[in-house]
């Protein structure tokens, strides 16, 4: 299922990338974008396929390499890409596989 990322300044709730984002956000989003197939791309809109379960897990591991994050922070980075339920399910599976751990403060950290 494709999703749309708006590049305009007046972006919708589901937008993920704008032309005026910080370099940290650009790096984070480029990690996400590099894992997904681009269907359409122009100066205003980027349409990509939504990640499957394995791709979502890899994206989460990439994000957690930067720093520990809680579910709300991860969902904010993946808004429009994956629902909170899918993110929670992927985190649970990654925890069971001992690739991430849930810390006492509610943040997930990548192991290894």
If we measure between CA atoms, which residue out of 105, 112, 58, 52 comes closest to residue 81?
A: 52
- Report which secondary-structure segment, H or E, holds 108: strand 107-110
Q: Which residue has the higher pLDDT, 94 or 13?
A: 94
Domains assigned to the chain: 2-110 (1.10.10)
pLDDT in tens, 46-80: 888 889 999 999 999 999 999 999 999 999 999 88
How high is the pLDDT of residue 87?
Answer: 97
How high is the pLDDT of residue 27?
Answer: 55
How high is the pLDDT of residue 52?
Answer: 94
User: pTM above 0.85?
Assistant: no
What is the pLDDT of the chain when averaged over all its residues?
80
């Amino acid at each position: 299922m494709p999703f749309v990322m708006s590049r305009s300044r007046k972006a919708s709730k589901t937008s993920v990338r704008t032309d005026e984002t910080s370099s940290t956000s650009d790096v984070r989003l480029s990690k996400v974008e590099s894992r997904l197939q681009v269907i359409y791309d122009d100066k205003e809109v980027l349409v990509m396929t939504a990640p499957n379960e394995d791709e979502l897990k890899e994206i989460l591991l990439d994000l957690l390499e930067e720093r520990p994050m809680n579910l709300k922070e991860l969902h904010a980075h993946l808004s429009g890409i994956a629902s909170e339920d899918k993110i929670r399910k992927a985190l649970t599976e990654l925890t069971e596989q001992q690739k991430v751990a849930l810390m006492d403060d509610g943040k997930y950290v990548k192991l290894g």
